[in-house]
A and B are shown apart, each in its own frame.
Chain A
Amino acid sequence: MRFSLVTTFAAAMLLAACSTPSEEASTTSGSGSSGGSTSTTTAASDPAPTALPTPAAGTQEELTVEVGDRIFFDYDQYNIRADQRDTVEALAAWLDTNPGVAMTLEGHADERGTREYNLALGERRANSVRDYLVALGINPGRLSVVSFGEERPAVLGSNDSAWAQNRRSAFVVN
Chain B
Amino acid sequence: MTSMQSLHIHRAPPLPRWRLTGLMPALAVLVLCLLAPWAPAQAQLKVDITRPVVEPLPVAITDLFGEIAEEQKLGADIAGVVAANLERSGLFRPVDKGAFIQDARSLRNGPRYGDWRLINAQALVAGNVQLQADGRMQVQFRLWDVFSELQMEGRQFTTTPANWRNIAHRISDFIYERLTGEVGYFNTQIVYIAEAGPQNRRVKRLAIMDQDGQNHRFLTSGNETVLTPRFSPTTREITYLAFQRSGGREIPRVYLFNLDTGQQEVLGEFPGMTFAPRFSTKGISVIFSMAADGNTEIYTVDLRTRGQRRLTSHPAIDTSPSYSPDSSQIVFNSDRGGRPQLYVMDSDGSNLRRISRGKGSYFTPVWSPRGDLIAFTRQHAGEFYIGVMRPDGSGERMLVRDYNVEAPTWAPNGRVLSYFRTTRADAQGRITSKIFTIDLTGFNERELVTPLDGSDPAWSPLIR
Which of A104, A117, A121, A158 touches B425 (beta carbons < 8 Å)? A158
B339 contacts chain A at the CB level, 8 A cutoff = yes
Residue contact B333 to A116, C-beta cutoff 8 Å: yes
Which of B199, B276, B296 has the most chain A CB within a 10 Å cutoff?
Answer: B199
Residue contact A116 to B251, C-beta cutoff 8 Å: no
- How many contacting A-B pairs (Cβ < 8 A)? 112
Residues of A within 8 A of B404 (CB): 111-112
Interface-facing stretch out of A10-18, A28-36, A48-56, A144-152:
A144-152
Assuming A115-B406, A119-B276, is B200 touching A154 (CB within 8 A)? yes
Q: How far is the CB of A70 from chain B (nearest CB, A)?
A: 14
Which of B241, B249, B291, B429 touches A156 (beta carbons < 8 Å)? B429
How far is it, in angstroms, between the C-alpha of A152 and the C-alpha of B199 when the chains are bound? 7
Residue contact A114 to B320, C-beta cutoff 8 Å: yes
Q: How far is the CB of A46 from chain B (nearest CB, A)?
A: 36
B364 contacts chain A at the CB level, 8 A cutoff = yes
B289 contacts chain A at the CB level, 8 A cutoff = yes
- Among residues of A, the one whose C-beta sits closest to the C-beta of B227 is A115
Q: How far is the CB of A88 from chain B (nearest CB, A)?
A: 15
A157 contacts chain B at the CB level, 8 A cutoff = yes
Residue contact B200 to A153, C-beta cutoff 8 Å: yes
Residue contact B456 to A156, C-beta cutoff 8 Å: no
Contact with A along B387-428 (1 / 0, CB 8 A): 000000000000000001011000000000000001011111
Assuming A104-B249, A116-B333, is B200 touching A156 (CB within 8 A)? yes
Residues of B within 8 A of A112 (CB): 379, 404
Interface-facing stretch out of A1-9, A59-67, A90-98, A126-134:
A126-134
Contact with B along A15-42 (1 / 0, CB 8 A): 0000000000000000000000000000
Residues of chain A touching chain B, judged by Cβ–Cβ distance below 8 Å, are 76, 104, 111-117, 119-121, 123-124, 126-128, 130-131, 144-149, 151-154, 156-158, 162, 174
Residues of chain B touching chain A, judged by Cβ–Cβ distance below 8 Å, are 198-200, 202, 225, 227-228, 241, 243, 248-252, 272-273, 275-276, 289, 291, 293-294, 296, 317, 319-320, 333, 335, 339-340, 361, 363-364, 377, 379, 404, 406-407, 422, 424-429, 431, 456
